[in-house]
Amino acid sequence: MINFTVGPVQSGPEVLAIGGEHVPYFRTPEFSKIMLENEERMCRFAKAPEGARAIFLTGSGTASMEAAVMNVFGPADKVLLVNGGSFGQRFHELCQIHQVPFEEIRLETGKALTAEHLAPFEDRGFTGFLVNIHETSTGVRYDPELIASFCRRNGLFLVVDAISSFLADEFRMADWGVDVMITGSQKALACPPGISVMVLSPRAVERIQGNQVRSLYFDLKSALKNGERGQTPFTPAVGTLLQIHARLETIDRMGGVEKETEKIAALADYFRSQISDLPLDICSESMSNAVTPLMTRNCSAHEIFTILKDEYGIWVCPNGGEYKDKIFRVGHIGALTAEDYRVLVDALRDLVRRGILK
């Protein structure tokens, strides 16, 4: 099996080895040290500002999306959110559930965010901005500089879901004035699912400290307090945190976050260069290095996904809802090589020969 989905993805040997070991007890100085190193590396890799903190929440990416909305916004806020697909819609629902006033910019599938979309919202009393910098469902990456300058001009508190973008695309938290950056263990971190990470600017830490949250598990004040000594308030996904530690250490040793991003970008470029003569159309105006969204012409995208899985041992990422039969996605995150893409492209060519991909 070769896995080209966007998560869970394939893990490297250092991560796989830990999966075969017993999970240790964690209220120890040894585990605290590992967590403090995890925090330091996450802040450094996100290019976070001086005094930033990182929280490791046990739960999938959505847990941190929800925790962020609950802990940094409230009924006195007015949030602008970008809704370009199913992950943007998730922020919409979270704001509704937690009674955070909001307006949204709805984008058509595949369309980039532009200055024209933002212009009507200048000087309108907004206090926050919520965005999935890479809307993984459609494969559109929004321009971080455009968002950063809008937020700076309007004094907005900026929360960025970079769950599928972190490590795959450049991320400059301090330069862009991002207050909360969210990612998850099963995307480019290439670990099993179960942990989501929030990197917090000093301004975000201050907001969390001053906010009353009606939740025990998602009240981040206790996570911040415990994190000072490398601990968590409740039993975390200890094994996954050890795997994250091994993965971050490997990235550091191999040349750092830039090298990792370059590697993912090179795989994405290579795959994209190999498919120009296939009956598939790239259907995003602005892509992340993490994934290539492809639209089929005269066949069902879901059928291509199923045949690749059942007959070739290859997993691409299907789409749901209205795009089930139109779009499938090919991921570039996880432990993948150029050779893996040659196998995929050969399989796609074989489907053309068989008259299935047309």
Ligand X SMILES: *Cc1c(COP(=O)(O)O)cnc(C)c1O
Contacting residues toward ligand X, per CB under 6 A = 7, 60-62, 87, 132, 134, 136, 161, 163-164, 184, 187
With CB atoms as reference, the residue minimizing the distance to ligand X is 61
Q: Which is nearer to ligand X, 101 or 193 (CB)?
A: 193
Give the nearest distance from C-beta 195 to ligand X in angstroms: 10
The distance of closest approach from Cβ of residue 332 to ligand X in the complex, given in angstroms and rounded to an integer, is 13
Distances (CA, A) of 217 to 59, 117, 213: 11, 36, 10
Nearer to ligand X, 154 or 289 (CB): 289
Q: Which is nearer to ligand X, 2 or 160 (CB)?
A: 160
Task: List phi, psi (to 5°) of 279.
Answer: -75, 60
CB of 66 to ligand X, least distance (A): 9
Tokens read off for 231? 């601990």
Burial label, 68 (beta-carbon count in 10 A; 0-12, 13-18, 19+):
buried
Q: Which is nearer to ligand X, 82 or 308 (CB)?
A: 82
Identify residue 188 by its one-letter amino acid code.
A
Q: Are 112 and 140 in contact (CB under 8 A)?
A: yes
Least distance CB 106 / ligand X (angstroms) = 16
Q: Which is nearer to ligand X, 31 or 87 (CB)?
A: 87
The candidate with the shortest Cα–Cα distance to 89, out of 161, 10, 32, 151, is 161
Q: How far is the CB of 111 from ligand X (least distance, A)?
A: 16
Q: Counting beta carbons within 10 angstroms of the beta carbon of residue 120, is it exposed (0 to 12), middle (13 to 18) or buried (19 or more)?
A: exposed
Angle of helix 238-253 relative to helix 29-45, nearest 10 degrees?
50
Q: In terms of CB distance, is 94 or 308 closer to ligand X?
A: 94
Shortest separation between residue 161's beta carbon and ligand X, angstroms: 5
Contact indicator for 288, 169 with CB cutoff of 8 Å: yes
